[in-house]
Amino acid sequence: MSVSVEKIEKNVVALEVTVESEKFVSAVNQAAKVLAKKVNVPGFRKGKAPRRMVELHVGKEALYDEALDHIIGPAYAEAVVESGIEPVDRPEVDLVQIEEGKDLIFKAKVIVKPEVELGEYKGLHLEQDAATVSDEEVMEELKNKQQQHARLATLETGKVENEDTVTIDFEGFADGVAFVGGKAENYELVIGSGTFIPGFEEGLIGAEIGQHVDVNVTFPDEYHSAELAGKEAVFKTDIKKIQRQELSPLDDEFAKDVSEFETLDELKNDLRNKLIKSAEQRVKEDYVKAIISKAVDNASVEIPEAMVNERVKVMLEDLSRNFTQQGITMEQYYQFTSSSEEAMQERLRPQAAEGVKMDLVIEAIAKEEGIEVTEDEVNEEFKKLGERYKQDAESLKQTLMARGEFGFYKQSLINDKTVNFLVEHNA
């Protein structure tokens, strides 16, 4: 097999692949055997018809198509390795020559990983901010703890206020007709949480226990359900219960109840120390991000849309997994936020593009500086993973290899090492 590479445009190349005639004939003969088992050839049992009869029965085009299904993929994969290109999308394949007795020739047009033009990434002289914590931040943290330990009291009488938890029955109607997904009983809703579409929670404020309320709303134009988008609707709602937080006073007794400390001052000091540690970690992370961001901004690269699309796809899959762990489907999320998959994809695209560029730049810096990870370093990281997850390190390694994810993991270690290099050379 031979391969020639032609650069068509930026980030796009065409591989012309020539497969020896003997291999093509062998693939056609094999295709005939496969088709003989699938079709009924008069006068022959399935799988027993000779190639000539199979070809007469199904046609030469079908025979060639079957052969190409088995020969193009492996030949393309071999051509990618031989040419040294790094595809980022599926190829567009066109046949140049297909005839028995002659070499099979095809062209594969494919988008490849773009070249990065690095700018300055060493000696950037960025300053790291000092970690500070104000009295207001300590008090805010104390109030958060007060909220966490608040008692939710059920009111005997009263009206719905912001931040109340209300238990309601409701059913939604549009044009006088109940719509799917618009009904629930004994539903607990925190007023002001933004869980429902705009106007619904606000429409319950001031309602009393046992009261029936008709809440008029208008669905957003971009609502995920086309049948309801932009429509006016009414939710017939019954207020069954109102619960309100009761906060304990911030005093020494509160400190004893919620911590191991005897006084409120001791609790405040502990909160301050924890906030300082968090602040130190945060400013360090911000400093590293600033260095990476500067190095990325100083570089130039034209990112193929295919890479951005793939990153958006991965981000959506991650988001879906996170919601699943919380017991929420993506469809429910879109409904709650009056969004859609298409709208979410558009929101994620800028972040995806930034992430792709950052990875490309870090990878380019690693190549420029000859940064690699040794086998010992990889094994040490797997040892740490094994200890963290209480699993055998070698088993974890083999699992990643079996999934085809080992290369990605190794690249992530190189990226981490490259980031450390950037920090060391920008101190």
> What is the tens place of the pLDDT at every residue in 217-265?
999 888 878 888 889 999 999 999 999 989 999 999 999 999 999 999 9
What mean pLDDT do residues 303-332 have? 92
Distance in angstroms (rounded) separating the CA atoms of residues 237 and 234: 9
Q: How many Å from the N-terminal Cα to the C-terminal Cα in the chain?
A: 52
Largest Cα separation within the chain, whole Å, is: 98
Every domain of the chain with CATH number 3.10.50.40 lies at: 151-246
Q: Is the pLDDT of residue 316 over 80?
A: yes
Backbone φ and ψ of 251, nearest 5°: -145, -175
Is residue 82 pLDDT above 90, yes or no? yes
**CATH architecture of the region 2-111:** 2-Layer Sandwich (3.30)
Helix (H) or strand (E) holding 131: none
Note the helical H segments in 127-213: 135-148
Say if residues 45 and 10 touch (Cβ distance below 8 Å): no
Beta carbons within 8 Å of 60's beta carbon, 6+ residues apart: none
User: In CATH, what number does 151-246 get?
Assistant: 3.10.50.40
Structure tokens given for 230? 């932009």
Q: What is the dihedral of CA 334, 338, 342, 346, to 10 degrees?
A: -110
CB atoms within 10 A of CB 41: 18
Q: Where on the phi/psi map is residue 186: left (φ > 0), alpha (ψ -120 to 50), or beta? A: left
CB of 241 within 8 A of CB of 252?
A: no
Choose among 387, 416, 383: nearest CA to 397: 383
Rounded to an integer, the average pLDDT of 368-391 is: 90
| Span(s) in the chain for CATH 1.10.3120.10 | 264-424
Return d(Cα 168, Cα 201) in angstroms, integer.
11
Give the pLDDT band of residue 49 (cuts 50, 70, 90).
confident
Identify any residues that bridge with 300 across adjacent strands, giving them in sequence order: 117
Q: What is the pLDDT of residue 64?
A: 87
Q: Is 251 exposed, middle or buried (0-12, 13-18, 19+ CB in 10 A)?
A: exposed
Rounded (10°) CA dihedral 229, 235, 240, 242: 60
pLDDT tens digits along 36-45: 777 777 767 7
Query: Per-residue confidence at 402, pLDDT binned at 50, 70, 90?
Result: confident
- Rounded CA-CA distance 180/198 in Å is 19
**pLDDT tens-digit series, residues 126-175:** 999 999 999 999 999 999 999 889 888 999 999 999 999 999 999 999 99
Fold annotation for 264-424: Trigger factor, domain 2 (1.10.3120)
Q: Is the pLDDT of residue 48 over 80?
A: no
The dihedral region occupied by 158, where left means phi > 0, alpha psi between -120 and 50, and beta the remainder, is left
Q: Cite the residue boundaries of each domain of the chain with CATH code 3.30.70.1050.
A: 2-111
pTM above 0.75, yes or no: no
Nearest to 364 by CA among 127, 86, 110: 86
Q: What is the pLDDT of residue 399?
A: 87
CA–CA separation, 232 vs 324, rounded Å?
Answer: 31
